[in-house]
Amino acid sequence: MDLDARATAAGFVGAIVVLAILAVLVGVEKLVDALSMADPATVAAVVGMAVVWLTAWAFALRAVLRALDASISRLSVIAVYAGALFANNVTPFGQAGGEPISALLISEAAGTEYETALAAIASADSLNFVPSTGLALVGVTYFSVAAAAGDRLQYATVAVVAMAVALPVVGYLAWTNRTRLERAVDGAITPLAQTVGRRVPRLEAPSEGAVAARIDGFFRAIEAVATDRWTVLIAFGFSTIGWAAQAVALWLSLQAVGVAAPFAAVLVAVPVGAIAGVTPLPGGLGGVEATLVALLVPLAGVSAATAAAAVVLHRGAIYWLPTLVGGGVASALGAGRV
């Protein structure tokens, strides 16, 4: 599998710099002390919730694939989704950068066309964004009404409201203008694909008809998923379970370092922190951690070092565990492929 090694290396260097700055700001010794006091049993529960999250989102992907007549077993889809997470976590811009590689893994495992696999992962990832907004609104409402958080909730509220407005607007515009969007994508991709085909050794430049057929297949697959209400409902349910598991994992991470934080704090922090995943850093590494710490300090009422310790535990389960496991899956499925 041919990842852009330079972009990946540069992204990790940037992430390491951000993480190092964050560690210095919160205090390295205080961070280490907080981590040393973490309860092992609670840390194990954090890992367990990470497995629940990964499994739930993998089943959401399986529901989408079944709507596209692509069969894959439960165990296989969990492994494949771990591979997709690996692709997201080692490429810049998170899911946007990792989806082409994820589609290759899915097409290999499910034995389906690449454009169908790309439509499946794009649909699943799009559906995954929807429940996060609702959970974040619940958390914001709690703090606004019950906790009187005041100014400390200002930036989080702006981010949540922006998501709540932007997601349906973008989705509606994309759906109502899907024919025009398809023509625009066709016009942009066709010359690019032909240029790559002519200049890269061992590749053959595709015809305009071949490119158009693949793009049409992608949009038809997207439309098939979007109009299947039962599939959307099932995927939405699994996605909601996944977000709830992520929130519980962060709440347990705070518990592990001795903090009894209100659950509403993690309902706000997890979705807003996910926004930082769409950065030039691989999988949002560094950006997500900094955002979570900045949110947890006021919302959970903890010190920066304690918040950082909880985030280290949480991201260890949510980011590093699927990255390590998914790396092996990606290597097995993608060996010898370009």
pLDDT tens-digit profile of 172-214?
Answer: 677 677 677 667 766 666 666 556 555 555 555 555 666 666 6
Q: d(Cα 207, Cα 196) in Å, to the nearest integer?
A: 12
Give the residue-averaged pLDDT of 23-28: 88
Average pLDDT over the chain reads 81
Query: Of 194, 217, 198, nearest to 206 (Cα)?
Result: 194
Amino acid at 257: V
- Residue 36 CB burial class (10 angstroms; 0-12, 13-18, ≥19): exposed
Q: How many CB atoms lie within 10 A of CB 203?
A: 12
Amino acid at 67: A
Amino acid at 224: A
Whole-structure pTM value: 0.83
Give phi and psi for 94, each to the nearest 5: 60, -125
Residue 55 has pLDDT above 80, yes or no: yes
- pLDDT above 70 as % of the chain: 77
160 CB-near residues (< 8 Å, 6+ apart):
133, 136, 137, 139, 140, 268, 271, 272
Give the residue-averaged pLDDT of 15-23: 85
Q: Which residue has the higher pLDDT, 330 or 310?
A: 310
Which tens digits make up the pLDDT trace of 142-179?
777 665 555 556 666 777 777 767 767 777 677 677 67
Residue 43 has pLDDT above 90, yes or no: yes
CB 326 within 8 A of CB 84: yes
Q: d(Cα 275, Cα 142) in Å, to the nearest integer?
A: 21
Q: d(Cα 242, Cα 255) in Å, to the nearest integer?
A: 20
Sign of CA dihedral 153, 156, 160, 165: positive
Residue 248 has pLDDT above 80, yes or no: yes
Give phi and psi for 3, each to the nearest 5: -85, 150
DSSP conformational letter for 300: I
What is the pLDDT, as a whole number, of residue 6?
66
Q: Which residue has the higher pLDDT, 161 or 39?
A: 39
Residue 49 has pLDDT above 80, yes or no: yes
Query: Of 287, 336, 300, nearest to 12 (Cα)?
Result: 287
Q: How many CB atoms lie within 10 A of CB 213?
A: 13
* Whole-number Cα distances in Å, 154 to 147, 162, 298: 13, 12, 11
